[in-house]
Amino acid sequence: MFVHEAQTLGFRVAVLEPDPGSPAGAAADIHLRAPYTDAAALATLAQDAMAVTTEFENVPAEALSWLARSRPVAPPAAAVQVCQHRAREKAAFVAAGVPCAPHAVVAAAADLDVAAIAALLPGILKTASLGYDGKGQVTVHSADEARAAFLRFGSVPCVLEKRLPLHREISVIVARGADGQLVHLPVQQNLHRDGILAVTQVPAPDIDAALAAEAVALASRMADSLAYVGVLCVEFFVLADGTLVANEMAPRPHNSGHYSIDACDLSQFGLQLRTLVGWPLPAPRLHSPAVMLNLLGDLWFADASSTTPRTPDWPAVLALPGVHLHLYGKAEARRGRKMGHLTVTAADAATARAVALQATRLLGLPAF
């Protein structure tokens, strides 16, 4: 999606990605099929690219730091490194004055002593790195359960977070330029299933203006604290008492912002490009209320026991008004794998939701 945005504005794009079937690589002008740390591929980028960005927070920060010696790199390596590790991320939230869940860093089984973690139970034990879409985390109710989970994770560094009474999930996407200029997309209300984003609604139907403004202020504070350049998404939990706590952040365009391609006059990918090349950052405008549905590989299978994928009935869905289908060009449909998204836009939020619910029925997705 970034590749298409850049090409629309006349740029050529090189993608460094080891997967020969990379959808971004297929769309790009140049696909460097090499590991992210490959010296020759990095040297090619340093020589030929005017600027470098990343769409994946697990790119080694060292590679970004090396590229930054000769080319603008956004987001900066230091910020990516923070987002790669939950303990560093929590520390960054605390340092910026952004509230987050009570937590403890777990480096060894001894850190899960009953007395030490009693105030955090029940809690969620999360691996400090590489967890994504609900992976690498488990709910624990006792110190014994926490220790057992820690051992199952291979005794890698973890973070134990206290489970909080969640009421809603929202996210804020901000874009910050090298000059400190900062703009944001509308606050997005999200629904996750099994740890994976399922539905995003904009405007957020259950969030009042004051809470939305607070979320934007906190996300902006986080970006300023990191001296961030690029697009940053901060996910928040709204607690039962109406207070906000930051869950995590992503140093890149985010799944919850994909609706902006069809519903805003400047998408998150347009913002990413502008921060990268130093262009002005006008405030994005939501011109159409929208509902976005994530399309997972499960849709390609008739039922839970099916092993043979088939194409969903896209013509039936596309017959609905205001429907925008985005498929990512991934070669193989797998359960739980993000294959694309569907955005419904309409003149008002109620209509967008009604049409999106029609789409869920046609696709066999749960209602929301």
Distances (CA, A) of 298 to 198, 312, 362: 12, 10, 14
Task: Specify the pLDDT at position 133.
Answer: 63
Query: What is the mean predicted confidence (pLDDT) over 95-110?
Result: 95
Task: Specify the pLDDT at position 115.
Answer: 86
Task: Specify the pLDDT at position 252.
Answer: 96
User: Is pLDDT above 80 for 46?
Assistant: yes
Task: Specify the pLDDT at position 143.
Answer: 95
User: Is pLDDT above 80 for 131?
Assistant: no
More confident residue, 132 or 225: 225
Q: What homologous superfamily does CATH list for 102-162?
A: ATP-grasp fold, A domain (3.30.1490.20)
Domain with CATH 3.30.470.20 in the chain: 166-363
Looking at domain 2-82, which CATH architecture does it have? 3-Layer(aba) Sandwich (3.40)
Task: Specify the pLDDT at position 15.
Answer: 98
Domain with CATH 3.40.50.20 in the chain: 2-82
**Which fold is adopted by the domain 166-363?**
D-amino Acid Aminotransferase; Chain A, domain 1 (3.30.470)
User: Is pLDDT above 90 for 276?
Assistant: yes
User: Is pLDDT above 70 for 151?
Assistant: yes
Query: What is the mean predicted confidence (pLDDT) over 270-274?
Result: 98
Query: What is the mean predicted confidence (pLDDT) over 35-46?
Result: 97
> Residue 329: which region, alpha, beta or left (left: phi > 0; alpha: psi -120 to 50)?
left
Q: Read off the tokens for 42.
A: 């990095």
More confident residue, 187 or 306: 187
Q: How confident is the model at residue 38 (pLDDT cuts 50, 70, 90)?
A: very high
Query: What is the mean predicted confidence (pLDDT) over 167-174?
Result: 98
Q: How confident is the model at residue 130 (pLDDT cuts 50, 70, 90)?
A: confident
The pTM score is 0.94
Give the whole-angstrom CA distance, residue 207 versus residue 183: 20
User: Is pLDDT above 70 for 132?
Assistant: no
Show the DSSP H helices in 9-76 as ranges.
23-27, 39-48, 61-67
Domain with CATH 3.30.1490.20 in the chain: 102-162
Buried b (16+ CB within 10 A) or exposed e, 166-204: eebbbbbbbbbbeeeebbbbbbbbbeeeeebbbbbbbeb
